[in-house]
Structure 1
Amino acid sequence: MSIQQKDRRSRPRPGKEPQLTRESWRVFQIMAEFVEGFEQLAQIRPSISFFGSARTPRDHPHYGLAEEIARLCSDSGFSVVSGGGPGIMEAANKGAYEGKSPSIGLNIQLPKEQSGNPYQDISLQFRHFFSRKVMFVKYASAYVVLPGGFGTLDELAEILTLVQTGKTREIPIILVDGQFWSGLLDWFRHSLCEAGTIDPEDLDLLQVCNEPQEVVDAIFSHYEHRGFEPSAAEQEMLLEL
């Protein structure tokens, strides 16, 4: 193949320029999501991020459990951050809304399932999962993870990876309802650890709680000998998140 032929094949094909322009301009949309998120959430510390299924009905025990945990956290001085949608997200926002501290929803535009719940003091809208994920992590003093599906597992894996690799500070990561999570934890222990893909000590990043007050106590226990605000070293770490 001649140099001329290579050059001709590497040129943008007709019709590609408008698509490239659209992609380039999307950078500003992404920047706007980050800027608004930083401005809105920087003042809500300490906060706790809640996760769980959008499909959980209001009469399900997990809904009531999430609502009670969030209310206790809110009354204890923690802002509560959820995905802003229905199910467990709604329960968390509702509990916080009835408590003393702010209720925040990080809403995502989806083809189905996601619709904003009415229990949000601060409501942010996102098109991109990755910018929304940063907001969940950046200002969180703890993660409370109730039963959920792929989205919940995605968020759980995200925070575990960031803490494990030292890309964010170590915070309480609490799984609620030990029976629900037992199969996953057994798989971590007997498949991942035995295969050497994680270290046994990595399991110590997780805690399992079943009762609402147990969750709050676990969070306070973690911070018993330090403040909720990140240290200077942790602040530098979070700047590069």
Structure 2
Amino acid sequence: MTPDESTGTRSGEAHALSALEAHVGETSARWLGGILCGLTLASSYLCVVHFVAGRGVVAWDPTIPLDRAIPAVPGAIWLYMTNILYYLACVLFLPAGVAATKALIVIWRSLFIVIAISLTVFLLCPAEVALRDQMHAALVGRGAALHAIYDGLYQLDPPFNAWPSGHVSQTLVMALFLARIWSRRPWRRIVLWIAWISMAISIVLTKQHLLFDLVTGIALGAIAWRLWVLPHLPASFSPAGNEVSGHLESTP
């Protein structure tokens, strides 16, 4: 895609969202767009991971001894499930205005690129996370709620969602975006990064992922931010932007 084509695509997306805003309002349009984005990401992921699981082909095993040395922590599932909060926060804390809407579209587009790369890897180089026996053992004697959550998770998400971890790569992009929004709110940024690091670590504590998945997820998220987000953010979302202070101070 040429720069002109890319610019045209982003402009078309912005016009489409602007048209929706004219009918339902800015806030409602953003939430509707976010819901559509989330459903598309989730459905595409589930379709591919269930296809790979049904095929049952494993290309290689990136498991290392440290993966089994890390204890299974059933309660880490609560941190694991906080990934949904990043999708919500990107809309909830977004400043008002056209520039902010364009920035949100940039984030959504980057998430689609990230999921496309991840799903391609799942299909071409599948790896199985064969660690769930550790969690089954750790769940013995634990409450019914935890058993129900893990049972539901295992039915929904087969253990072929290995690398790179979308849980990590996508939330890293959104965490960096939120950190940019909160550039003048240091305490929010501190809480944000403590929460994100805890969530990232939870993917290995829940035995949903390997350490390799964590590392490659971070790498993919960082690459996505550098290549597909930063160059395309409106000037007001740049540290050098003249409007940045006004935008961020109006953030809830």
Judge same fold: TM > 0.5, yes or no.
no
Normalising by structure 2, what TM-score?
A: 0.24
Return the structure number with greater strand share.
1
Larger Rg: 1
